[in-house]
Amino acid sequence: MYVGLVRSVHVGHHRNGVRQIDENTLERVADLVCDTDGPNHRQAWELPRFLRKAGWAGVPEYDESGRRRWVLAQLLSRRSDQAAIEQVLCRLADPLEYDEPRQAQRVAQELNRFLALEGLKVTYAGGRPHVVALPAAMIAPDAPAPVHLQRELGSFIQDPRLAAILRQRLDEVHTCREHGACLATIILLGSILEGALLDVATRFVEAAMRSSRAPADGRKVNRWSLSELIDVGHERGWIQSDVQRFSHVLRDYRNFVHPREQQKRDEFPDQDTVSVCWDVVIAALNDLGAAVAAAHVQGGGRPRPDDSVPGPSSDRS
């Protein structure tokens, strides 16, 4: 359904048809390699070794010209060799390069701040760093900002223990996503969506049970499927139509927790799929938070279990 990221050949400067990274970008890369007086400060003698560890052959010895100047000269000498530049980027973001593996993630975040202007990003698959091309919409300066959680979970999830569990799962989603564990990320996102919808449906149980989309067999809310929770949530005005539609897409991928389901569909979610699912879940949480807040205001600080919650605003900005 979603097309994976592919390498780009149209971003940046070209010479003889070969893609080149901008010199200003290489200067920032040189700064990260040297990390002067930083936590990853590399001595002069360590710089040639770093490039060799990155996979470069024929690296000259340091010539006393100055650490940053020497590194930049090496980068510029291979500016037309995209593979060589990507080797350096990956080595900078490689957990094997650091005593504290989490430091690699911090370096990758710094790299990605300026690589985005080149249409590139360092990401992880199977715990290993890779350089991928960003979709064009993510390169444009006026691209829409990513969806962010607008309310703390504890402000609208009634059960504090459940709120803590959902917070922990959101943290784990970040970890899985950053390390390329796409399927695990989606399964966790589906569980967060289900937990939040169930909490709101339980709080407004009378309205939920009276919904035209509620199960006809009268099952208790805690035995509803995710599909039923999504449809009731929309019918009651707790989530918007776009969230309802794409939540069902997320639900389908969440069902890949069963290997035979994935085998039957013969699909393998990638980072693009994860991005869509992330936006869906965060949008759903924002809708639910707005709906619960509206119920508190209209009910004088008390939920209104006998009626549907006033729907959230349609403005996603």
| Per-residue pLDDT reduced to its tens digit, 51-99 | 999 999 999 999 999 999 999 999 999 999 999 999 999 999 999 999 9
> 83-103: b or e for each residue (b if 16 or more CB lie within 10 Å)?
ebbbbbbbbbbbbebbeeeee
In angstroms and rounded to an integer, the radius of gyration of the C-alpha atoms of the chain is: 24
Please indicate, yes or no, if residue 197 is contained in any of the structural domains: yes
Please tell me whether residues 158 and 289 are part of one structural domain. Answer: yes
Please indicate, yes or no, if residue 174 is contained in any of the structural domains: yes
pLDDT band at 302 (very low <50, low <70, confident <90, very high): very low
Instruction: Inform me whether the pLDDT recorded for 140 exceeds 70.
Output: no
Instruction: Mark which of 139, 169, 199 sits at the end of a domain.
Output: 139
Please indicate, yes or no, if residue 308 is contained in any of the structural domains: no
Number of domains in the chain: 2
Rounded CA separation 158/136 (Å): 40
Rounded CA separation 25/118 (Å): 8
Residue listed under structure tokens 């589906």: 190
Please tell me whether residues 220 and 116 are part of one structural domain. Answer: no
Please tell me whether residues 99 and 165 are part of one structural domain. Answer: no
Please tell me whether residues 157 and 294 are part of one structural domain. Answer: yes
Give 211-220 pLDDT, tens digit per residue.
999 999 988 9
Q: Model pTM?
A: 0.54
Please tell me whether residues 95 and 211 are part of one structural domain. Answer: no
Please indicate, yes or no, if residue 1 is contained in any of the structural domains: no
Burial class, 64, CB count within 10 angstroms (exposed 0-12 / middle 13-18 / buried 19+): exposed
Please indicate, yes or no, if residue 304 is contained in any of the structural domains: no
Please tell me whether residues 123 and 164 are part of one structural domain. Answer: no
Please indicate, yes or no, if residue 276 is contained in any of the structural domains: yes
Please tell me whether residues 129 and 166 are part of one structural domain. Answer: no
Please tell me whether residues 119 and 174 are part of one structural domain. Answer: no
Select the more confidently predicted residue: 270 or 26: 26
Supply the range of the domain harboring residue 191.
153-298
Compute the average pLDDT of residues 138-166. 74
SS (H, E, C) 101-150: CHHHHHHHHHHHHHHHHHCEEEEEECCEEEEEECCHHHHCCCCCCCCCCC
Give 216-268 pLDDT, tens digit per residue.
998 899 999 999 999 999 999 999 999 999 999 999 999 999 999 999 888 88
Mean pLDDT computed over every residue of the chain: 84
Please tell me whether residues 165 and 200 are part of one structural domain. Answer: yes
Give 276-291 pLDDT, tens digit per residue.
899 999 999 999 999 9
Please tell me whether residues 276 and 161 are part of one structural domain. Answer: yes
